[in-house]
Amino acid sequence: MNSRKEELEKFRKVNGPVIDVRSPSEYYKGNMPNSINIPLFDNEERSIVGTVYKNYGREKAVIQGLEYISIKIENLVNKLFEALTDYKSKNHNSKLEEPILKIYCARGGMRSQSISWLLEKYNQRNIRLKDGYKSYRKWTLKSFHQEWKIVVIGGKTGTGKTKLLKLLGENNYQIIDLEGLACHRGSTFGGLGMKEQPSNEQFESLIAEELNGFKKSKKIFVEAESANIGKCKIPQEFFSQMKTARRIEIKKSESNRLEELINTYSIFKEKDLTEAVIRIKKRLGPQRTKIAIESIKNKDWESVCKSVLEYYDNCYDYEKTGKNNIKTLDMTDIFDDQTTLRLIKKYMKS
C-alpha cells in the first residue's frame, strides 16, 4: 500500500516534503512552517464547492469538485513530483529513509484523500495527516500552556537588545527572536527594511516550532516586548510567563544608544522615515515632530534620534514584561562579544 494516515507526531517524523493542499487564503492564514502550498482548489473554487455542499449536499459538492480537478490533474501531479524532486536534491546527502510526500488539508478529509488517491495511481508513496491542519493548530496552542524557563532581555531603545539576543543564539543559547519571527521591531519604525508580517496565526506557529526544538530543562532568552509586535500578538499564555520571568536589564549611555540608533535607521529612505515620524506626531508633539522631519531632510541623524529618544523612553516605562526579578547590567562602552558573553554567564550564575 502506497498511502497511509498518521497522527501528527508520527507525521512530523517522516522524511519528505510537506504539502498543504488547502486554498491559498487558508494557507496564508496559517500553515505548517516550511510546507509547500499546492492547492486542490483556488480561493474561488473552494468557495463555490462549499456553497454547493451547504445548499445541495456532499454528493453535489464532490461532483463540482471533480469538475475543477479534472482540468488540472496533470498540473497538480507535476507540481507534487517537482516538490519531491527538489526535496531530494536539497537533501541528497541525507542518511534518512527515502523521502515520501506528506499531505495535509484542513481536517484530513476529502482534499488530502483525493491527492493521496491520485498519487497512488502513479505508484507514489505518501502519508496523510490525521485531522489535518486542525490537529497541528491544536498542537501549536497546547505548546504555549507548557511551562518554560524564560529569561527576558530588557533595556531602553538603542541598548542593543536584539544584537545581544542574536549573539546568544550564535553561542548555543536557546533564544526566540520574536521580532524576527514577526518581521517587525515593535515600534513606529519597526517595519522599515522588514519583510511583510505573517498572519497572527502563522506567527504563533513559528513560535511553537522554535519551542519544539528546545530542551525544557534549559533557559530560553527572549527580548522584552509589549503584547503586540506590529500586527502580531504574542500568545497570551507565553506572554504571561514573560511577565513573571527573570530579567536582564541592559543599561547603556545615551551616546552609545544614539550610535546604535543611527547605525540602524540612517540607511532607510527619507520618505519612509518621515512617514514613521508622522505616525507618532501626536505623541511627539509639534516641536519635536518638526525637528525630526527637518533633521531627516538634512540627514542630521543624531538630531533625528534625539528627538524621538525621549518618546521611546516614556513608552518603555509602560512596558511590563519580566519586571518582577530584575538584574541590571551596565554595558556602557562594552562592544566586544567575549566580554558581553562573560557578563551574561556571570549573571546566570548569580
Cell numbers given for 232: 502580531
pLDDT of residue 320: 52
**Tens of pLDDT, residues 131-162:** 999 999 999 999 999 999 999 999 988 899 99
- Cα separation, 340 vs 318, in Å, equals 27
100 CB-near residues (< 8 Å, 6+ apart): 14, 15, 16, 84, 124, 125, 126, 127
CATH 3.40.50 range(s) for the chain read: 148-349
Point out which residues pair with 222 in neighbouring strands: 152, 176
Residue 243 · residue 196 · CB < 8 Å? no
Cell numbers given for 37: 502550498
- Collapse the DSSP code of 127 into the 3-class scheme (helix H, G, I; strand E, B; otherwise coil) and give the result: strand
Residue 161 · residue 134 · CB < 8 Å? no
pLDDT of residue 19: 98
Residue environment code for 185-207, b if the CB has 16+ CB neighbours within 10 A, otherwise e: bbbbbbbbeeeebbebebbbbbb
Closest CA to 250 of 185, 348, 164, 322: 164
CATH 3.40.250.10 range(s) for the chain read: 3-141
pLDDT of residue 350: 67
Provide the sign of the torsion angle of the four alpha carbons 120, 126, 127, 128, taken in this order. negative
- For the entire predicted model, the pTM comes to 0.90
Residue 103 · residue 128 · CB < 8 Å? yes
- Cα separation, 84 vs 89, in Å, equals 9
292 CB-near residues (< 8 Å, 6+ apart): 277, 284, 303, 304, 307, 308
Mark the ranges of the chain whose per-residue pLDDT is less than 70.
1, 188, 190-191, 193, 317-324, 350
| Length of the chain in terms of residues written | 350
pLDDT of residue 132: 97
- Cα separation, 330 vs 315, in Å, equals 21
Q: Side-chain half-sphere of 53: how many Cα atoms within 13 Å?
A: 11
Ranges assigned E (strand) in the chain = 3-6, 18-20, 36-37, 101-104, 126-129, 150-155, 174-176, 220-223, 228-229, 232-233, 246-251, 325-330
**Tens of pLDDT, residues 185-202:** 777 676 676 788 999 999
Closest CA to 108 of 241, 220, 6: 6
Point out which residues pair with 150 in neighbouring strands: 220
- Collapse the DSSP code of 120 into the 3-class scheme (helix H, G, I; strand E, B; otherwise coil) and give the result: helix
Tally helices (H) and strands (E) across the chain: 17, 12
Point out which residues pair with 5 in neighbouring strands: 128
Fold type of domain 148-349: Rossmann fold (3.40.50)
146 CB-near residues (< 8 Å, 6+ apart): 211, 216
Cell numbers given for 2: 502506497
Closest CA to 297 of 279, 273, 264: 273
| CATH architecture designation of domain 3-141 | 3-Layer(aba) Sandwich (3.40)
Residue environment code for 133-172, b if the CB has 16+ CB neighbours within 10 A, otherwise e: bbbbbebbeebbeeebbbbbbbbbbbbbbbebbebbeeee
pLDDT of residue 1: 59
